[in-house]
Structure 1
């Protein structure tokens, strides 16, 4: 879905009119979040956010995978597979599956880490364990109570924050903010803005780590586009951030087009993008996630689509490393005591 503009403005008449619906939605999600979950048998680390839309969960998940591997763990990602038709549980195979099967984010991540897609997360956890997972990393699912989470890492964009602070549909929040903050173990703020300062102060007051991070463009992606005028397009949670990252990397963005998050590009749309780029002498560029969703259709356009890759760099990962070690050791020790 494309986020309404009023979600990211001060509370307006429209948001106030929707507050009663937001109260009902918030009550339902609050009650759901407080249900007891199942133990997965291995530590479960959740990467989520407070609101609908994008904040950088996928690059954060991949950065977390690297940290866990440094700690000697065997992580497997568990995803609901948003946008995919398969209910699972199924292990994602990039050579066999498409984004239409398993979703764009699982398909992209499966090139770097084992990924299990399952609508029922308890079934997915069982498959992850069967694949040898020593720790499960949940990509999203912070508000889902199916599994006991041993650590919940919340990702927030430093410029967008939580918008107007209202619960859907009056605003972008998935549940009332106080409940979500109370269940947050660490906060990762992406970017150098101050929109998340108030939330950061609350997390820090509770003793939770607050980490700053930045999206670092891949050197190879920058080199491939330097000297080219590009036509950029993206169907992610925050397309303007993608366009801004391109420009900040010295890329000449002559044209840009934003689509809704997880937008399913049609052959007609892709053909139009390719034809416009050819006519104006531009190079098409999009995100890794979008290119995963486009898949084999890119080869039929008669013009290449460049992928612009980014990596999440955490400024000081030491507090997060300490938190992970503490929670991992607690779960592993409990399992050893029971066996």
Structure 2
């Protein structure tokens, strides 16, 4: 689904009309989060967010998982598998599972390290530990109480912030910013703070800053005409990434987040690219949702997280991994 337009702008009558329902939603979340979660015998790092939709959580999780692996600790990823039919707990097998089963983020993560899809995060974590996980990196799950976290990070998209500042359905927030921030050890701001989101955070909450940068595939597209399409939370961000990388964006097409592309969609998109004399390009997250017979005809541009000060995230991981190891003693 596409988020309502009013979620992204301040003011208007819709948030006011929906505020009673939003209050009920927020209260239910608070009651749920008051329950204690299972304490894993290994560190659990949660890359969460306050808003529904994309904020860069998967990219952050991939970065952290890679840093943990580089230390010699076997990291496993854990997520709900949004958009997939499998409730789990199950280990993702890219050759057997498609995005319709486990969701697109799970396939991206599984290319890096063992990945578990589980609506019940505690059950997924238990299996991960049994299979040798030395640390668990959660993609989302800040509002899931079933698993205790060693380190929780509040991921913020600098271009979107906290939207209109209201809780679902009056806005994009899953809970108030204050409630989410109170359970986090730090915030991670991805991109410039264009909405004043940092002003809503407690002054004592550390803020780490970074930006999304295009992968090495971008070098082969510099100066080329491209037709860009995607079904992600912030299509504009992807299109701008291509322009900043030197591609000439001849046309664009955007779909709802996690949109399930079918053969008809791809035929129409490839026809449009041909009419424009452009190379069809999409994100890695979208590419895994393309029917396999079309994947070879579409170029991919991946993104990675570039930290302003990498030593800050390394220090947080040092502390989290030490705390987790002490918990097993």
- TM-score band by shorter chain is over 0.9
Q: Distance between the aligned counterparts of 1:276 and 1:320, measured in 2?
A: 43
The alpha-carbon distance between structure 1 residues 255 and 160, as it changes in their structure 2 partners (threshold 3 A), is same
Unaligned 5+ runs, structure 1? none
Residue number in structure 2 paired with 1:274? 270
For 1:172, the equivalent position in structure 2 comes to 172
SS in 1 for 2:166: coil
Cα distance per residue 1:18-76 (max 9 Å; x no partner):
11111111111111112111112211110011001111111111111122123332110
SS at match of 1:21: helix
**TM-score computed with the length of structure 2 as normaliser:** 0.96
Query: Does 1:264 find its partner at 2:257?
Result: no
Match of 1:331 in 2: 324
Deviation at 1:288, TM superposition (A): 0.2
Residue matched to 1:52:
52
Distance 1:187 1:11, change over 3 A: same
Q: Deviations over 1:225-284 (max 9, x none)?
A: 223211111101111111111111111111111111101112211111111112221111
2:211 to 206, 211, 214: 214
CA distance in 1, matches of 2:232, 2:293: 19
1:5 aligns with 2:2: no
Which residue does 2:198 correspond to in 1? Answer: 197
1:1-339 mapped onto 2 (5 Å cutoff)? 1-195=1-195, 196-200=197-201, 202=202, 205-206=203-204, 208-219=205-216, 221-299=217-295, 304-336=297-329
Rounded to whole Å, the distance in 2 between the matches of 1:213 and 1:286 is 22
For residues 52 and 65 of structure 2, the distance between their equivalents in structure 1, rounded to whole angstroms, comes to: 23
CA RMSD of aligned residues (A): 1.4
Q: Distance in 2 between matches of 1:64 and 1:133?
A: 14
CA distance, structure 1, for counterparts of residue 93 and residue 36 of structure 2: 32
Per the alignment, in what secondary structure is the counterpart of residue 252 of structure 2?
Answer: strand
Counterparts of 1:123 and 1:334, CA distance in 2 = 19
CA distance in 2, matches of 1:334, 1:22: 38
Q: Distance in 2 between matches of 1:307 and 1:76?
A: 25
Unaligned 5+ runs, structure 2: none
Q: Deviations over 1:91-125 (max 9, x none)?
A: 11222221112111111121111111112212211
3-state SS, counterpart of residue 285 of structure 1: strand
User: Could you tell me how far apart the structure 2 residues matched to 1:33 and 1:249 are?
Assistant: 42
In 2, Cα distance between the equivalents of 1:158 and 1:298? Answer: 33
In the alignment, is the contact (CA less than 8 A) between 1:78 and 1:124 conserved in 2? yes
Displacement of 1:295 in angstroms is: 4.3
